[in-house]
Structure 1
Amino acid sequence: MRFSTLASLAALFEFTTAGRWTEDWPFAGFPSFAKLPFHTCLVDNPEFDIALIGVPFDTAVSFRPGARFGPQAIRRASQRQNGLRGFNARAGINPYDNWAHIIDCGDIPVTPMDNQLALEQMNAAYDELVNGTTTSGNTAGALPRLVSLGGDHSVILPALRALHKHYGPISVIHLDSHLDTWSPDSYPSYWHSNTSEFTHGSMLWLAAQEGLINKGHCVHGGLRTRLSGDDWSDYEEDDRVGFHRIHADEMMEIGPRGIAERIKQIVPKNVPVYLSVDIDVLDPSAAPGTGTVEPGGWLTRELISLIRQLQDLPLVGADVVEVSPPFDHADVTAMAAAQVAYEIITNMVKTPLELETRKFFSNM
């Protein structure tokens, strides 16, 4: 008995000695997202179930730049999210201490000098990360999932291209104040190049032209943008692309639950879903640090509530984009984005992609 007690004490002493320098405060240590294990995934090729990937690209914007600094800012704002204090009371789980192996994959090294080359780099990186990586084995046969930290909103196009190779057409839930289905003709200019059509407002139009999205089963939420000209032609083009529209003011009429129900009526059950959150879906009072602000948006509380009510959808990927730290104040925009990423990760953990689901998607 005495030997057992001494052995226990010795083991305890060894544990405490080994662990005495392993406790980082939120404001200390390496700033990976939520203090998650960090890998340069495009070099190290680690296994994971869910990963954060930064995309510091903002040279496809039409107004205020600065979102190339978004991934760093979102990571800084996430430092109080960690496994020790990561329990999501809204969802009833700690996503960081559950079945999923979740890591921070670092950033895609994207050139700011040449958009054609940048798009090529992003295409290759997403293809490697989505189709060239295996899971940790916690979900048999499932594909690993990425939550992208932007960067401007154009980064969704290479992500959808990579996912389409495996799943086929994808239903996109697009939470944004803008349509982002504008034909390149909506940006009239005498000058053209190989990538002049590629912008943060035309990428969903391009995705539709390439057959990447599940036409008729995609939805915008939070719209309040001004339109071109003096008629509804922008909406007519949006109809042709294949999106349904939910306006920001509808939040006051039917609330997050009603909007979630509308989305689920549009997005069929058991189809691959991509959730894209432009932080400008929030009102500028809640997210001033973004490229194209539009007054009259949702509150952070409302956005989080909506995301929680979409937790049963099988997300194959997601992003949080358009965080522009140069226009932020007291990190309020970055903190909102970090919380949104946390809620998306929680949804992914609550709804794993099983092998049967993967096969169903592949055969659509």
Structure 2
Amino acid sequence: MATTTIRELCLALTGLLSLVGSVHGHAHGHTDAMPELSSIPVGPNYKHPIEDLDKDLPFSQPVTFAHLPWQRCFSAAHSSPLDIAIVGFPYDTSTSYRPGARFGPRGIRAASSREKKGRSYNTVWGVDPLTEGGLNIVDCGDIPITPFDAQHAFKQMEQGYRQVLWHNTTVAAGKQWTHPRVLSLGGDHSIVLPILRSLKEVYGPISVIHLDSHLDTWDPYAGYTGIASEQSAITHGTFFWHASREGCISKGTSVHGGLRTKLFSPQDYVIDRDVVGFTLIEAQEIDDPEGMDGIIRRVRKTVGDTPVYLSIDIDVLDPSIAPATGTPESGGWTTREVKRFIKGLEGVKLVGADVVEVSPPYDTVAEVTSVAASDLLVDIMALMVKDSVGKGKTAEGVKDEL
């Protein structure tokens, strides 16, 4: 036994000396090419065939969304074409109740780890969103956003989104999409204001499909407390009010879905409908005879063939399903129902989307909220990919269904 041990130690020492010699040789200018896998030296007792180790496991590698390649999209030197970009907004300075959504992008990415090329064909959508059509889909990482100065943070968010939005797309994306489409990971819901400001420069006022338990159109100067400055009037409950005043939202073609919030007064609904211009769909309407299918038809009829932005506050889900959010409200929809809603948007001209208000510090050890958020984003990606490669419904097909 002792003899065997000494022999093994000698072999290990020989291998170590060889490695040191190799390093020493390279330090003196040697530039030997990487050997082929079949010629890589192994120990004398290694009996297994050499395999290709350039692959990902669900729980391995640096964490990007669905193991997508990471690119430094916010560098001035970045010029690669983008078709769909994942962008994180680690910001929660504008929350009114629970903070923590600044960790949302990190949590959502970690929860997406089981999604990866080679296991990404979506049977519901009939496409593989990670490989279909040669599209360039990348994770751009997070916009660096200061948590100390909200006014400057909004400038950073708008600049970052614009930098991605004004990239070229690939030939594979076709003529319909000359600008990349961005899947945004929140962050609190106020991140949508700089996003809508950026999209307005490309598409003009756009329709918004907003899934949320709250209106987010509160008039900050009529009942909303805590205003100490113009910037403090912008919160995750007032940003749509500001977006409407700035002409970012197409009045009369936008929809709220999943509402079940308490109000300051019935006047809040009047402002939402008549001033900001949203159609309101309450959460309990899913129990009507037509259910989710009726809600989908109503939404599609409202937005028609206009450019549409989809914003999903994770609190549209019931807190029994998604507890990790800033302002939970009981009585929400299920993950399956929201996935059914997203599938019903096929053929809508979706220019961008987000999932926001995921606050991992309040999640369970099973990461149920982050998992739900990441899965909804995968479905939205499939929606975008399907129409990019010409497999989705056309605008005429949408009209025929209305």
TM-score, length-normalised on structure 2? 0.81
Amino acid across the alignment from 2:369: T
> Is the 8 Å Cα contact of residues 148 and 320 (structure 1) preserved in structure 2?
yes
CA distance in 2, matches of 1:21, 1:116: 47
Asked if 1:20 is matched to 2:55, the reply is no
Offset from partner CA, 1:109-136 (integer Å, 9 cap, x none): 00000000101111111111112x1112
> Is the 8 Å Cα contact of residues 157 and 207 (structure 1) preserved in structure 2?
yes
Quick check: 182-191 or 286-295, which moved more?
182-191
Asked if 1:71 is matched to 2:105, the reply is yes
Partner of 1:201: 237
For residue 104 of structure 1, give the secondary structure of its aligned residue in structure 2: strand
CA distance in 2, matches of 1:212, 1:334: 29
Partner of 2:64: 32
Amino acid across the alignment from 2:331: G
Amino acid across the alignment from 1:46: S
| 2:164 aligned to which of 129, 137, 148 | 129
Amino acid across the alignment from 2:101: A
For residue 132 of structure 2, give the secondary structure of its aligned residue in structure 1: coil
Amino acid across the alignment from 1:23: K
Amino acid across the alignment from 1:26: P
Aligned-pair CA distance for 1:13: 6.4
Runs of 4+ displaced beyond 6 Å? 11-14
CA distance in 1, matches of 2:80, 2:218: 38
Cα gap change, 1:154/1:130 in structure 2, threshold over 3 Å: closer, same or farther?
same
Partner of 2:44: none
How many pairs align?
339
| Greater relative CO, 1 or 2 (CA 8 Å, sep 6+) | 1
Cα gap change, 1:94/1:227 in structure 2, threshold over 3 Å: closer, same or farther?
same
Partner of 2:382: 346
Cα gap change, 1:352/1:19 in structure 2, threshold over 3 Å: closer, same or farther?
farther
Give RMSD over aligned pairs: 1.9
CA distance in 1, matches of 2:346, 2:216: 24
CA distance in 1, matches of 2:243, 2:317: 24
> Is the 8 Å Cα contact of residues 276 and 318 (structure 1) preserved in structure 2?
yes
CA distance in 2, matches of 1:277, 1:27: 27
Partner of 2:307: 272
> Is the 8 Å Cα contact of residues 313 and 351 (structure 1) preserved in structure 2?
no
Asked if 1:48 is matched to 2:79, the reply is no
**Looking at CA atoms only, which structure, 1 or 2, has the larger radius of gyration?**
2
| 1:282 aligned to which of 317, 324, 334 | 317
Q: Specify every segment of 5 or more residues in structure 2 that has no aligned partner in the other structure, as ranges.
A: 1-35, 40-48, 395-402
Aligned-pair CA distance for 1:184: 0.7
Q: Which residues of 2 match residues 176-325 of structure 1 at below 5 A?
A: 176-189=212-225, 191-229=227-265, 232-239=266-273, 240-253=275-288, 254-269=290-305, 271-325=306-360
Cα gap change, 1:54/1:169 in structure 2, threshold over 3 Å: closer, same or farther?
same
Partner of 2:23: none
Percent identity over paired residues = 49
CA distance in 2, matches of 1:172, 1:340: 17
> Is the 8 Å Cα contact of residues 226 and 232 (structure 2) preserved in structure 1?
no
Amino acid across the alignment from 1:335: V
CA distance in 2, matches of 1:300, 1:113: 34
Partner of 2:398: none
Offset from partner CA, 1:35-71 (integer Å, 9 cap, x none): 0011121013432100110000000011100000000
CA distance in 1, matches of 2:144, 2:88: 9
